[in-house]
């Protein structure tokens, strides 16, 4: 499926008549469904359908919980990863939030400036999942339905038959035509309906206190404002170098333009839609190994991220060093970060403060975060094979420190940044965020 197919689905939905209750007599419209166009309504029904897993009981919403910024773990006994449809089966990465995911550009290798040297480099950017293996959102939808660790359907046709026999089959016919279930691309069409739902305004609310502050409806506290200043300070947090925002130039449906195209003297944008807090690129952070993940009991097993993305060699430029991408994971947006822990791709950090502190003290105090070997030496970057540890970002602020040097930020700065990050929580998730901290 392509971006074009997604927008085709949206167009079909927009052209269809308002959904009738008779389309799904077993489930009348809920209060939050009356304003959805038929295609998005179909997507919501698919998204919430617990019969679409094998065995039944798991839906998209089970792991993308609407109460916690569309992120969760299906009541897993391992907080970092979600439980699958089968007892005792778990994922191996943290489930990302679906909020604002529709803004991510398609996966591609593009010219992008190096934050340290300023030179343009060919850089992977965009896509869906931690490793960008889905080109666009409607490709992302298909993965969990077929993943044995998740919804565990054996084939696409198995999903189609469940929908054909389900209560909202007529809604699918209303959206895509009477013969939809006999069409060769029916699975793709159903996936595009879910993607159209995930592109609706409920997944991009822009209703945080930060948004209100940008538009002059509130003020930040002294601590929150100090945290914002530390966040954007290129000699302290330097967070905008990856968690990008404030650029008024729009290069891809709201996604930020390359930093080299910006006017460095231009003021930061006051438009909330210019603040996604990600540049959609990939970085090698050297996260500590999370031993709570069952797969990590095997010392020879490593999650190498982007370099193992299916088809990466086919889309990379000729002679590109694929091994340089080992350990790289997509930079997540920070909106609703306080409501969507644990943190990093492997969920190794339970608290927001810990992950912020890790950024600043990973290199000055590695003993805080990594285990020690039998000889007492700190096993830094222990979740990467030794041959890939040089990939870890150690030159960019704030990672350019060494043992014995002062971190770029002290404890007070870290507390301030955490306070600022909590202002990024959209209104419906404030209570969930407060419950995490």
User: What pLDDT digit, counting tens, does each position of 378-413 carry?
Assistant: 999 999 999 999 999 999 999 999 999 999 999 999
**For the segment 159-200, what is each residue's pLDDT rounded down to a tens digit?**
999 999 999 999 999 999 999 999 999 999 999 999 999 999
Q: For residue 261, what pLDDT band results from cuts at 50, 70 and 90?
A: low
| DSSP for 368-382, written as a single string | GTS-B-TTS-B-TTT
CATH architecture of 207-296+333-437: Orthogonal Bundle (1.10)
Distance CA 324, CA 390 (A): 9
Distance CA 231, CA 420 (A): 8
Q: How far apart are the first and last CA of the chain?
A: 40
Asked which of 131-145, 258-272, 273-287 is least confident by mean pLDDT, the reply is: 258-272
Question: Looking at the predicted structure, is the pLDDT value of residue 250 above 70?
Answer: no
Predicted pLDDT of residue 260: 57
**For the segment 99-147, what is each residue's pLDDT rounded down to a tens digit?**
999 999 999 999 988 888 888 999 999 999 999 999 999 999 999 999 9
- CATH level 3 topology of 3-104+134-203: Cytochrome Bc1 Complex; Chain D, domain 2 (1.10.760)
Contact predicate 225/422, CB 8 Å: no
Mean pLDDT of 153-157: 98
Predicted pLDDT of residue 30: 83
Question: Looking at the predicted structure, is the pLDDT value of residue 25 above 90?
Answer: no
Tokens of 420: 């600022």
Distance CA 112, CA 107 (A): 14
| DSSP for 410-432, written as a single string | -HHHHHHHHHHHHTT-BGGGHHH
3-state secondary structure 184-207: CCHHHHHHHHHHHHHCCHHHCCCC
Question: Looking at the predicted structure, is the pLDDT value of residue 244 above 80?
Answer: yes
**For the segment 50-63, what is each residue's pLDDT rounded down to a tens digit?**
999 999 999 999 99
The residue ranking higher by pLDDT, 21 or 170, is 170
| DSSP for 88-129, written as a single string | T-B-SSPPPP-TTGGGPPPPEEEEEE-TTT--EEEEEE--BS
Residues 6+ apart with CB under 8 A from 182: none
User: What is the radius of gyration, based on Cα positions, of the chain?
Assistant: 22
DSSP-H helix ranges across 136-292? 137-146, 156-164, 169-176, 186-198, 209-214, 222-232
3-state secondary structure 19-42: CCHHHCCCCCCCCCCCCCCHHHHH
Contact predicate 195/106, CB 8 Å: no
Q: For residue 18, what pLDDT band results from cuts at 50, 70 and 90?
A: very low
Predicted pLDDT of residue 373: 95
**Could you give the angle at the alpha carbon of 149 between the alpha carbons of 144 and 155, nearest 5°?**
55
Give percent of the chain with pLDDT exceeding 70. 89
Domain-wise residue ranges, the chain: 3-104+134-203, 207-296+333-437
Average pLDDT over all residues of the chain: 91
Predicted pLDDT of residue 8: 41
């Amino acid at each position: 499926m392509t971006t074009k197919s997604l927008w085709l689905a949206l167009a079909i939905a927009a052209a269809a008549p308002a959904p009738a209750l008779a389309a799904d007599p077993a489930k009348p419209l809920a209060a939050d469904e009356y304003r959805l166009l038929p295609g998005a309504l179909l997507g919501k029904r698919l998204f919430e359908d617990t019969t679409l897993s094998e065995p039944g009981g798991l839906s998209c919403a089970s792991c993308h919980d609407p109460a916690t910024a569309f992120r969760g773990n299906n009541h897993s006994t391992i907080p970092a990863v979600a439980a699958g449809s089968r007892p005792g089966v778990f994922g191996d990465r943290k489930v990302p939030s679906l909020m604002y995911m529709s803004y991510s550009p398609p996966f591609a290798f593009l010219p992008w400036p190096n934050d340290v040297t300023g030179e343009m480099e060919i850089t992977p950017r965009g896509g869906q999942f931690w490793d960008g293996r889905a080109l666009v959102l409607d490709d992302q939808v298909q993965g969990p339905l077929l993943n044995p660790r998740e919804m565990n359907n054996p084939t696409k046709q198995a999903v189609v038959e469940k929908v054909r026999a389900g209560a909202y089959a007529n809604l699918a016919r209303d959206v895509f035509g009477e013969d939809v279930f006999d069409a060769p691309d029916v699975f793709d069409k159903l996936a595009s309906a879910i993607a159209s739902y995930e592109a609706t305004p409920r997944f991009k609310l822009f209703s945080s206190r930060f948004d209100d502050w940008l538009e002059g409806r509130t003020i930040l506290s002294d601590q929150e404002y100090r945290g914002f200043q530390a966040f954007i300070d290129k000699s302290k947090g330097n967070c905008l170098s990856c968690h990008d925002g404030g650029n008024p130039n729009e290069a891809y449906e709201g996604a930020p333009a390359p930093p080299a195209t910006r006017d460095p003297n231009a003021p930061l944008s006051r438009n909330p839609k210019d603040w996604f807090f990600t540049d959609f690129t990939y970085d090698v952070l050297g996260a500590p190994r999370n031993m709570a993940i069952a797969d990590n009991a095997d010392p020879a097993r490593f999650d190498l991220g982007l370099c193992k993305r299916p088809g990466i060699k086919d889309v990379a430029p000729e002679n590109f060093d694929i091994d340089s991408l080992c350990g790289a994971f997509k930079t997540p947006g920070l909106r609703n970060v306080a409501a969507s822990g644990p943190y990093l791709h492997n969920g190794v950090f339970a608290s927001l403060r810990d992950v912020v502190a890790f950024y600043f003290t990973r290199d000055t105090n590695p003993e805080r975060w990594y285990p020690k070997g039998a000889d007492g030496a700190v096993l830094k970057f222990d979740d990467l094979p030794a041959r890939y540890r040089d990939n870890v970002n150690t030159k960019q602020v704030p990672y350019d420190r060494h043992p014995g040097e002062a971190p770029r930020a002290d404890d007070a700065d870290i507390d301030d940044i955490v306070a600022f990050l909590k202002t990024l929580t959209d209104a419906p998730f404030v209570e969930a965020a407060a419950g995490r901290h």
